[in-house]
Each structure stands twice: as structure tokens, then as C-alpha cells.
Amino acid sequence: MESNDVDPAKIQTEVFRLPSTCFAEENGSIVNSGRWLQWHWKGADAPGIAMTDGEILAGIFLRLRKMYSEQGGANPETGAEYDLELHQTIRTRL
């Protein structure tokens, strides 16, 4: 008996594969179910054009904000001014 009655071919979605780093390619902390909190240094540089999740999301945000400021949008609150200082790396890598 199939419990999922959704036909994936009928769903209007897109899948994007973004060049993201993994935990071993960035500095940060790890927490596990044993309640251990550990800090780790990156073990290697990310390959190619891979970026951290934060850099990717910030880049999407900056491009959407620019697009909305130039073309307008359905929601007026997106035109609000947000004074965000983002790391220079994000701007230069996009």
C-alpha cells in the first residue's frame, strides 16, 4: 500500500544545486545528541566557487533586494530600507 498519493511529475517545482561548503571546509561549532559542543577549524579550503550557506543566502538576498528596488514588487514592505553591513567577501564573490 502506497501512503504517498502525490505524483512528483505534477508538482510545479524546481531544484537548484548550489555550490555550498560542508562542515569540514569552514570554521565553526558542532553539537550532537550527546550534548557535546565542539569548536573546529576548517580542515581544507572549499573547492572551486563553493561558498558557505550564509554567503549564498546573503547573495540571494542582495540580488532580490536590488531587483525589487529596480522593478518593484507585489509587497510594499520589501522596499523598506535595511541598513545591513555585509562582509565584503560576499559582494566580491557574486
Q: What length is written for the chain?
A: 94
Residue 37 falls within a domain, yes or no? yes
Residue 63 falls within a domain, yes or no? yes
Residue 4 falls within a domain, yes or no? no
Residue 1 falls within a domain, yes or no? no
Write out the residue range of the structural domain in which residue 36 sits.
16-76+83-93
> Where are the alpha helices (H) located in 1-94, listed in sequence order?
53-71, 88-93
Integer angstrom CA distances of residue 81 from 62, 64, 67, 90 = 12, 13, 14, 19
Total number of domains constituting the chain: 1
pLDDT exceeds cutoff 70 at 79? no
Residues 6+ apart with CB under 8 A from 68: 78, 79
Whether residue 25 contacts residue 46, with contact meaning beta carbons closer than 8 Å, is answered with yes
What are the tens digits of pLDDT across the range 12-50? 888 889 999 998 899 999 899 999 999 999 999 999 999
- pLDDT value for 94: 57
Residue 3 falls within a domain, yes or no? no
Residue 55 falls within a domain, yes or no? yes
Residue 11 falls within a domain, yes or no? no
